[in-house]
Amino acid sequence: MINPKVKSYLFAISIVINIIAFVFFIRRVYYQQTAKPHTVASTTKPAAFYREVKRKMYSILPITKEDIVFIGDSEIELFRTHELLPGYRIKNRGIGGDDIYFFTERLPETIAGHPKEIFIEIGTNNMSDCTLDTFKVFINKVAQITKSKSPTTKIFFQSILPREAKYSKKVNAVNNVIKAVCKKSNLTYVDVYSTLSDKKGVLKKEYDCGDQLHLSPAGYLKWVEVLKGYL
């Protein structure tokens, strides 16, 4: 028969071992989740650390007065600007999952070098959480920041690109807001939406990469056609 003291001791050791095993299990699950690759093609937003890493990388890459900056979310990050628009001094500053709030934070450092032009494409990641008034305030703020910190930079505000049917009315409404604010604030509105959308305001199948959001190669070629009228 086991001595009661020994039995209690063994029981205590068993509890400690189980606690340690549980902690290691939780740690393993946590690191497996955080180690999963975050792709810009995902329809979910990348983790905050991904955006910060991209932001820090961009901060060490200089922008000059001769440069044209393309800035926005994954649609810009996936845009092979140096190959699809050769001959232009374009600096790509797209970040997958970017929204109007993170964009506003990183805008000042992006225009610190006083680029010649800035082409903005942002907002699709805020379709579910922002009102039209929020977008209006945002666009005015972007104009204010840019004109204040880099008055020589010409601002081109591109339309939000079409996506799946459930967002068609909201995207169209936001684009109307962008267009109106651009006209009032003397900014240039670039309508990419009309070229890529069908009659229902949905991203055309030939321009859809497969997730009803991001563009296929053919979609980017169409986007390039539109941009050449402004570059």
Assess whether pLDDT exceeds 60 at residue 13.
no
Alpha helices in the chain (DSSP H): 4-34, 48-59, 74-77, 81-84, 100-110, 132-149, 168-185, 193-196, 217-227
Tell me the average pLDDT of the chain: 86
More confident residue, 196 or 12: 196
Edge to edge, the sheet with strand 154-158 lists 90-94, 68-72, 117-121, 154-158, 188-190
Q: What is the pLDDT of residue 93?
A: 98
Q: Is the pLDDT of residue 21 over 70?
A: no
Query: Residue 228 pLDDT > 60, yes or no?
Result: yes
pLDDT for 48? 83
- Pairwise CA distance, residues 128 & 126, whole Å: 5
Cβ–Cβ under 8 Å, residues 99 and 122: yes
Query: Of all residues in the chain, what percent carry a pLDDT higher than 90?
Result: 78
Nearest to 226 by CA among 199, 193, 187: 193
Q: What is the mean pLDDT of residues 12-39?
A: 45
Average pLDDT over residues 34-39: 38
How confident is the model at residue 111, as a pLDDT? 97
Evaluate if residue 62 carries a pLDDT over 90: yes
Q: Is residue 204's pLDDT more than 80?
A: yes
Q: Confirm if 199 and 158 have CB atoms less than 8 A apart.
A: no
Report the pLDDT averaged over residues 152-168.
97
What pLDDT was estimated at residue 227? 98
Work out the average pLDDT over 55-68. Answer: 95
Pick from 43, 76, 33, 36: which is nearest to 58 by CA?
76
- pLDDT band at residue 1 using 50, 70 and 90 as cut-offs: low
159 vs 171: CA distance, rounded Å: 9
Q: What is the mean pLDDT of residues 172-184?
A: 97
* Concatenated DSSP letters of 16-30: HHHHHHHHHHHHHHH
pLDDT band at 65 (very low <50, low <70, confident <90, very high): very high
CA 183/CA 201 separation, integer angstroms: 23
- Pull the structure tokens for residue 123: 């907002």
**pLDDT score of 78:** 97
pLDDT digits 0-9 by tens, 88-98: 999 999 999 99
Give the mean pLDDT of 196-208.
96
Enter the pTM of the model: 0.79
pLDDT value at position 22?
Answer: 45
pLDDT at 33 over 50: no
Report, as an integer, the average pLDDT of 58-87: 96
